[in-house]
Amino acid sequence: MINRRKQGLNKREQKILNRVILGAVILSVLFLLFAPGRGVLPYHNLQKEVQALHQENQMLQQRNVQLAEEIERLKHDEGYLEELGRGKYGLLKKNEEVYQFGKK
């Protein structure tokens, strides 16, 4: 028995050892790919979400700039304020009358 240990593994034992190592490697790779919250696929999904949030953030920043410009116009541009009041709210100046003609 002592001689056998010094010789190493026979072919059958070597084949079993190779299969065990291959199985361990495959399980490790699968764990790295699909581990909840840590794997490559969840990481890829998070990267997509970050990109989508970044785009949404840029759109919101642009909208914020537009709203700030409109606020400034409302504060300082009398012509814009009058145009908005007449168009959106139907306001009139003193001594103005509105005539509406309907289609027959």
pLDDT, tens digit, 9 for 90 and up, residues 45-96 = 889 999 999 999 999 999 999 999 999 999 999 999 888 888 888 888 888 8
Q: What is the mean pLDDT of residues 94-103?
A: 82
Distance CA 58, CA 37 (A): 27
| ∠ Cα 38 41 43 (to 5°) | 55
This prediction has a pTM of 0.54
Q: What is the mean pLDDT of residues 12-27?
A: 94
Q: Residues, the chain, total?
A: 104
What confidence score (pLDDT) does residue 29 get? Answer: 87
CB 98 within 8 A of CB 92: yes
What confidence score (pLDDT) does residue 70 get? Answer: 93
Q: What is the mean pLDDT of residues 14-36?
A: 90
What confidence score (pLDDT) does residue 1 get? Answer: 46
CB 34 within 8 A of CB 41: yes
What confidence score (pLDDT) does residue 104 get? Answer: 63
> Higher model confidence: residue 63 or residue 6?
63
